[in-house]
Chains A and B, each alone.
Chain A
């Protein structure tokens, strides 16, 4: 539905964006919620 190049494209306008492509589908949290939660925690804490 929302393919990977659409994620990478944010990099054009947000050069500081941290873009992480994960081996998962549309409802990513169903498969990888712990991994994603860790990424978010580290991102927010800086």
Chain B
């Protein structure tokens, strides 16, 4: 029997953090880490699909979804800080063993958490998220220009287009063969948080902070080799943001890897959610089922 999702708020380091939760609390836990510029909304169907047997937690990062957006002056919008927020959330919820689902921005949060606490990690599910330099192709050129020179206004203007209404729609529909299955609610929901005052600058700050991730790729790859995490890759193979070459790369370092590509784009759960949920269920049933 599927369980109902609950919608919760909790104070984490002075920030009001929103998270979705479903499933039996004594079942194996999966932490779902959302991508830019989405929120836990992207997991709404997956959470329901797995909630009969697994305990799902999907938080929104500060500045995204329904979580609070502290002023930039009072909060450091960085991947380091997001990882601390999630780590503290898990401590407060008393969750010490978990699987991690990493998508897009969720990946650098996941790798920080997993490499810091390898003993806590039961499995890792990667969906269109990166840990390899070659995974950052053409889409990343203006972002790399911005890393070189933060005052590069041309790059900045391009970056802003990624999450304007047109750019959002593109992120959800590019590489999708039948776009009629993609709900426009996705970008309309995202716009609610993206249009808050200061949020545009927060998105730029995070694009800029993403430069801290590639230098860490070698240590995260070392983590894969040293700890052999059980990993499932479920990847939209038509993603322009994280192209499939970045998925292939995991094969070099991850020994316990199961690998599935889908004829889907960046937000693969939107078009192929049922298939992906079935594969995740089968994987978790074999790896962590109690």
CB within 8 Å of B: which of A1-46?
A: 31, 34
Which residues of the other chain, B, contact A34 by a CB distance below 8 angstroms? 1-2
| Range for the number of chain B residues in contact with chain A | under 10
The residues in B between 157 and 212 inclusive whose CB is less than 8 angstroms from any CB of A are none
0 or 1 for each of B59-96: is its CB under 8 Å from A? (1 = yes): 00000000000000000000000000000000000000
Across the interface, which residues of A come within 8 angstroms of B2, CB to CB?
Answer: 34
**Chain A residues with CB below 8 A from B1, complex form:** 34
Closest chain B residue to A31 by CB distance?
B4
The smallest beta-carbon distance between B281 and chain A, in angstroms, is 18
A23 to B244, CA, bound (A): 48
With a cutoff of 8 Å between Cβ atoms, the chain A residues found around residue B4 in the complex are: 31
The interface bits of chain B over 1-43 (1 if a CB of A lies within 8 angstroms of the residue's CB, else 0) are: 1101000000000000000000000000000000000000000
Shortest B6–chain A CB gap in Å is 11
In the assembly, what is the distance between CA of A34 and CA of B4, in Å? 9
Contacts of A31 in B (CB 8 A): 4
Nearest-neighbor residue (CB-CB) of B1 within chain A: A34
B4 closest partner in A (C-beta): A31
C-alpha spacing A1/B257, complex, angstroms? 54
Nearest-neighbour CB distance to chain A for B44, whole angstroms, equals: 12
Q: How far is the CB of A28 from chain B (nearest CB, A)?
A: 13
> With the chains together, A16 CA to B233 CA distance in Å?
54
A17 CA to B1 CA in the complex, in Å?
29
Tell me, in angstroms, the Cα distance from A34 to B5 when the chains sit together.
12
Cβ of B166 to closest chain A Cβ, rounded Å: 31
**What is the CA–CA distance of A34 and B2 in the complex, to the nearest angstrom?**
9
B132 → chain A closest CB, angstroms? 41
A34 to B1, CA, bound (A): 9
Which residue from chain B places its CB closest to the CB of A34 in the assembled complex? Answer: B2
Q: State A38–B1 Cα separation when bound (angstroms).
A: 12
A30's nearest neighbour on chain B, judged by CB, is B4
Instruction: A25 to B199: give the CA distance in the assembly, Å.
Output: 34
User: How far apart sit A31 and B4, CA to CA, in the bound complex (Å)?
Assistant: 8
- Shortest beta-carbon distance, B100 to chain A, in Å? 28
CB distance from B53 to the nearest CB of A (A): 15
Q: How far is the CB of A27 from chain B (nearest CB, A)?
A: 14
Q: How far is the CB of B111 from chain A (nearest CB, A)?
A: 36
Distance in Å: Cβ of B234 to nearest Cβ of chain A: 26
CA distance in complex: A34, B51 (Å):
13
Provide the bound-state CA to CA distance between A31 and B1, in Å.
15
Complex A-B, nearest 3 residue pairs according to Cβ-Cβ distance, in ascending order? A34-B2, A31-B4, A34-B1
Chain B positions within 8 Å of A, measured between CB atoms, are: 1-2, 4
3 contacts between A and B (CB under 8 A): A31-B4, A34-B1, A34-B2
